[in-house]
A and B are shown apart, each in its own frame.
Chain A
Amino acid sequence: MSSQVAPVEAHDHHDIRPIRKAAMWVFLGSECMFFGSMIATFLLYRNDTADGPGSEIFDIPFTSASSFVLLMSSLTMVLAHNSFEKRDGRGTRIWLAATALLGITFLAGQIYEFTEFVHKGLTLSTSPFGSSFFMLTGFHGAHVALGVVMLLAMVFLSLDGRLHEERGLNVELVGLYWHFVDIVWIVIFTVVYLLQV
Chain B
Amino acid sequence: MAQTAHRSHPTPAMYWGIALFLAVVTALEVAVPYISALDPVRVPLLLIMGAIKFGTVVAFFMHLRYDKKLYRTLFLFGAIGVIPLFLVVLLTMNAL
CB pair A28 B23 closer than 8 Å: no
Q: Is B79 an interface residue (CB 8 A)?
A: yes
Chain B 58-96 interface mask (CB, 8 Å, partner A; 1/0): 101110000010110011111101100110011001010
CB pair B12 A33 closer than 8 Å: no
CB pair A75 B15 closer than 8 Å: yes
Q: Is the interface of B mostly helix, strand, loop or mixed?
A: helix
Contacts of A175 in B (CB 8 A): 62
CB pair B49 A190 closer than 8 Å: yes
Contacts of A108 in B (CB 8 A): none
The minimal Cβ–Cβ distance linking A22 to chain B, given in whole angstroms, is 6
Report the bound CA distance from A22 to B71 in whole Å: 6
CB pair A29 B75 closer than 8 Å: yes
Report the bound CA distance from A36 to B46 in whole Å: 18
Q: Is the interface of A mostly helix, strand, loop or mixed?
A: helix
The minimal Cβ–Cβ distance linking A131 to chain B, given in whole angstroms, is 15
Partner of B15, one of A30, A44, A79, A187: A79
CB pair A194 B30 closer than 8 Å: yes
- Interface locus among A113-121, A134-142, A156-164, A178-186: A178-186
Partner of B74, one of A29, A71, A72, A191: A29
Q: Which B residues fall within an 8 A CB radius of A?
A: 9, 12, 15-16, 18-19, 22-23, 26, 29-30, 32-33, 42-43, 46-47, 49-50, 53-54, 57-58, 60-62, 68, 70-71, 74-79, 81-82, 85-86, 89-90, 93, 95
Can you list 29 A-B pairs with a CB-CB distance of less than 8 A?
A25-B74, A25-B75, A26-B78, A28-B78, A29-B75, A29-B79, A30-B78, A33-B82, A36-B81, A36-B82, A36-B85, A37-B89, A39-B86, A40-B85, A40-B89, A43-B90, A60-B33, A64-B26, A72-B23, A74-B22, A75-B61, A82-B12, A176-B62, A179-B62, A183-B53, A183-B58, A186-B54, A191-B50, A194-B29
16 additional contacts (CB under 8 A) given A75-B61, A82-B9:
A22-B71, A25-B74, A29-B74, A40-B90, A43-B90, A68-B26, A71-B19, A72-B23, A75-B16, A175-B62, A182-B61, A186-B50, A189-B50, A190-B29, A191-B50, A195-B47
